[in-house]
Structure 1
Amino acid sequence: MAGEPAVTSKMYLRTCHWIKISLLVFVLYWLSAATEELNSEPTNIEKRSGIFTDSKKKQTSVSFASNHFSQDIRLDSALNESILYFKRTPKDSKFRFAQTEYSKEEVLQSLEELQQLIHDNTNEEIQNKIQKHFHLMELSPAEGPPTITGYYEVRIYGKTKREGEFQYPALSPPTSDSLSVENPKFFPRERWKEKSTWEKYSKPIIFIRLTDLHLAQLEGSALVQTETNERFRINYAADNGKDYISPSVFLKGICPSLKPYHLSDCIQKKPKEVSDAIFKNPRYIFFERESLSSSKSKSAESVFGPFGSQGIRLVSFRSVAMDKEVPLGFPVLLSFQSKDWSLNHHLVFVHDRGNAISGVGRLDYYLGNENGVEEVANNLLTKGKVILLLPKKKNEKQLDKENKSNEKF
């Protein structure tokens, strides 16, 4: 047993050596992790990437929040819709804003240059170069900063036969023979309550609830699902030429607001008052049915919406409705801040009109059809900044080039 202390001593030394190595490895790992954390980008800081990305502070649902991770396809699609629209116009078409007139060629060239910029440059480079291709005109009406609202595509349930609360047809545009004294297209809303009228002059596409008909006509389209699980879209096709009067005028003290959930609740409690208020709005919208491709994915359906004005397909978060004074198809930089979210120089395109969108101080932002979008759209009412991108004339571009060349000397 005389050799036992020596063995114990060796074991002790080995153990100490192992502990030292373990401590060294741990320290090196900790230093590496700390260095990596310092070098990494903080995850709790809101990212902003200039004019082509919007930043969301909060959302009302997961599906709506995740709608913003594919901005490139939306931007490309919206820009392409503008280009296709101008290509469809006659060769000698002119587009005017303020005192300046632009040819089809000038507008198309500017949009195609913008398309090239987006594809070939970083966001920072795009911001620098965009001013070389466009005049940036901020729209500042006398009454103050522009008013920004939101709209969306309604999702509704309908039935192929008239029954229960599904009493109200979404009608196709009316037709009449040459012998008719009156044109049914201009009938006020009250006339279209009568079954004899729509059976004679029109065809029902689907039967829906009165509040859903109001929403579909207000927004200009709706995604419909029937009792057989068939899905299709109804798009704006025509109107009776009358001005819109909001039912809220006649519902003071009855409904807290015209938000869908308030309206649905109100019509249950006060059916006559709400029905009368809706029918006092003389404006009536007719629809056309659009089949949805069975191969179209839900993500594509959330990006591409109904038709806006002049056959332009609306693109969620990239299409806006503005006054007729602002030419269709033109690009706009949109900025605003609301309690839900904010945008900073977000690139959008004028793809739609609206009966209630009057004056250059009004902009309606299309938010798509995803779950939760209804509440966000209904709550969006704020002031903002709207900058219209106007094409530079050929001689202006040449002058810019010469000035740049002179700066080098």
Structure 2
Amino acid sequence: MPQPFARPGASRFMTTASSLLRAVTSVGVLALLVACGGVPLSSPGYRTDGVSPTSPSVAPAARSAAPEAAPSGPVLMQRNSRWVPVAWSELPGLEQDALHEAWNAWLKSCERPGPVFAPLCPEVRRLSIGDAEAQRSWLLSRLQPYRVEPLQGGATPGLLTAYFEPEFAARRLPGEGFTTPLYQPPVGLVPGKPWFSRKDADTLAQPQAALRGRELLYLADPVEAMLLQIQGSGRLRVTEPDGRQRLVRLAFAAHNGQPYQSIGRWLLDQGEVRDASWPGIRAWLTQNPQRQAELLWQNPRLVFFKEETLNDFDAAFGPRGAQGVPLTPGRSIAVDPLSIPYGTPVWLASEGPNLSLQRLVLAQDTGGAIVGPTRADYFAGWGEEAGELAGRLKQPVRLWVLWPK
């Protein structure tokens, strides 16, 4: 969601471990199974032709393959979506996409593939050194595109937002203005049971005692700390006590069991702002610094972290998504896993004032606000430019899953 609202991977902290921008990045949150019009996708190994896709027999990729003139096969049903087979010609931009970029994300999915795509991973790995023609021909010969629709049918556009990995300066010890701590899970936290709220942690002795000694790092800005919690992870440029500089990642470890509430939505509901993007919230705080605590306390959820070392290789990818693999900037999306299984290649098409996209992406993450058949959250990467995109992106999207024939 263009979120001061909630992230998918923030989603991760709402569902699994992985994301005020992701929340600032999404403003809105976009049912029932119908009894006819499709075939239930009863197991991950389902095939429309009666052949198991988990067969160890994998044919070599064809050098060229023509798209089918017309789609074939039944509609496939998921719990929150239905998939309608279509011809490859329905996918916009197929000939223009730089597929090798998507292959990096696909190789990551092959580190933890599901049973449907595991048999294809040897070919995916071989094609990582292939050219665009070979990769595109392989897609056409081995996969069938399906348009993702609501259970009741109808190809109405969904919603695309974006999220990112914040990057901030931090200190190992408090001082020089760095006084806002980021915590490990506190003593006495029980997963699944509510703990103290954000306001409680700031004002009551008992939660403060439970958090004492659990500090990981310190930031200079409590609003940045909330943004990090909403996104679910972040990169920190840490100054150690001896003056050395290190780049580390704080990844999601747990949350306090309190409901997530959007501070951007609160500002809108109070009539305080018309622009609830991250820049809009920042502008409001500049004019109302005395109300900072009041604003932050509107979101009772606290997120706790674990620290991970970032080497040069790890730094080229984002945090691990719900699939359990590192996210690839521009090629990983968060989805509703009841609509699109993790690890599924997806063709994404979206046109709007902030971004034009027609590309192959991989479903590798989820989020508390990422619900519905055509709801996607686009991983924009890290840093200021990615944060700006994540804070503004909210536009229609169409999705097609690419499923083994």
| TM score, norm. by length of structure 2 | 0.65
SS in 2 for 1:158: strand
1:52–1:113 CA distance, 2 compared to 1 (3 A) = farther
CA distance in 2 between counterparts of 1:324 and 1:167 reads: 39
Name 1:292's counterpart in structure 2: 310
Name 1:268's counterpart in structure 2: 286
Which structure has more helix as a fraction of its residues?
1
| 1:319 positional shift | 0.8
Corresponding position: 1:243 with 2:254: no
CA distance in 1 between counterparts of 2:216 and 2:122 reads: 39
CA distance in 2 between counterparts of 1:122 and 1:249 reads: 44
SS in 1 for 2:111: helix
| 1:212 positional shift | 0.5
Corresponding position: 1:75 with 2:102: yes
Corresponding position: 1:175 with 2:191: no
Asked if structure 1 preserves the Cα contact closer than 8 Å seen for 2:351 and 2:357, the reply is: yes
Code of the aligned partner of 1:389: L
Of 91, 108, 122, 2:132 maps to 122
Code of the aligned partner of 1:357: I
Of 193, 202, 205, 2:216 maps to 205
Code of the aligned partner of 1:79: W
SS in 2 for 1:149: strand
CA distance in 2 between counterparts of 1:331 and 1:274 reads: 42
CA distance in 2 between counterparts of 1:383 and 1:245 reads: 24
| 1:175 positional shift | 3.4
Corresponding position: 1:137 with 2:146: yes
1:112–1:257 CA distance, 2 compared to 1 (3 A) = farther
Code of the aligned partner of 1:249: R
| 1:275 positional shift | 2.5
CA distance in 1 between counterparts of 2:195 and 2:372 reads: 25
Name 1:333's counterpart in structure 2: 347
CA distance in 2 between counterparts of 1:249 and 1:322 reads: 22
Code of the aligned partner of 1:230: R
1:353–1:240 CA distance, 2 compared to 1 (3 A) = farther
1:290–1:118 CA distance, 2 compared to 1 (3 A) = closer
CA distance in 2 between counterparts of 1:246 and 1:350 reads: 25
Offset from partner CA, 1:41-80 (integer Å, 9 cap, x none): xxxxxxx773642xxxxxxxxxxxxxxxxx73x4333112
Name 1:43's counterpart in structure 2: none
Asked if structure 2 preserves the Cα contact closer than 8 Å seen for 1:243 and 1:355, the reply is: no
Asked which structure has the greater RCO (Cα within 8 Å, sep 6+), the reply is: 2
Q: Which segment is superposed worse, 272-281 or 75-84?
A: 272-281
Offset from partner CA, 1:181-201 (integer Å, 9 cap, x none): x98764333333247424425
Name 1:146's counterpart in structure 2: 158
| 1:163 positional shift | 4.7
Code of the aligned partner of 1:106: V
Code of the aligned partner of 1:205: L
Corresponding position: 1:375 with 2:388: yes
1:198–1:204 CA distance, 2 compared to 1 (3 A) = farther
SS in 1 for 2:110: helix
CA distance in 2 between counterparts of 1:381 and 1:145 reads: 12
- Alignment length, in residue pairs? 300
Asked if structure 1 preserves the Cα contact closer than 8 Å seen for 2:259 and 2:301, the reply is: yes
Asked if structure 1 preserves the Cα contact closer than 8 Å seen for 2:192 and 2:257, the reply is: no
Pairing 1:26-175 to 2, within 5 Å after superposition? 50=95, 52-53=97-98, 72=100, 74-86=101-113, 104-117=114-127, 119-120=129-130, 122-123=132-133, 125-141=134-150, 144-163=156-175, 166-175=178-187
Of 357, 361, 369, 2:370 maps to 357
CA distance in 1 between counterparts of 2:157 and 2:234 reads: 31
Code of the aligned partner of 1:150: A
Asked if structure 1 preserves the Cα contact closer than 8 Å seen for 2:158 and 2:375, the reply is: yes
CA distance in 1 between counterparts of 2:216 and 2:266 reads: 29
Asked if structure 2 preserves the Cα contact closer than 8 Å seen for 1:210 and 1:275, the reply is: no
CA distance in 2 between counterparts of 1:199 and 1:52 reads: 54
1:224–1:121 CA distance, 2 compared to 1 (3 A) = closer
1:160–1:135 CA distance, 2 compared to 1 (3 A) = same
SS in 2 for 1:132: helix
Name 1:192's counterpart in structure 2: 201
Asked if structure 2 preserves the Cα contact closer than 8 Å seen for 1:139 and 1:146, the reply is: no
1:200–1:175 CA distance, 2 compared to 1 (3 A) = closer
| 1:349 positional shift | 0.9
Structure 1 gap ranges (5+)? 1-47, 54-70, 87-103, 393-409
Q: RMSD over aligned Cα, in angstroms?
A: 3.0
Of 214, 234, 241, 2:226 maps to 214
CA distance in 2 between counterparts of 1:369 and 1:198 reads: 31
Asked if structure 2 preserves the Cα contact closer than 8 Å seen for 1:139 and 1:360, the reply is: yes
Name 1:342's counterpart in structure 2: 356
Offset from partner CA, 1:342-381 (integer Å, 9 cap, x none): 222x111111111111112210000111442222222221
Name 2:3's counterpart in structure 1: none
CA distance in 1 between counterparts of 2:373 and 2:256 reads: 25
Name 2:72's counterpart in structure 1: none
Larger Rg: 1
| TM score, norm. by length of structure 1 | 0.65
Asked if structure 2 preserves the Cα contact closer than 8 Å seen for 1:176 and 1:183, the reply is: no
| 1:313 positional shift | 0.7
Asked if structure 1 preserves the Cα contact closer than 8 Å seen for 2:183 and 2:211, the reply is: no
CA distance in 1 between counterparts of 2:372 and 2:217 reads: 35
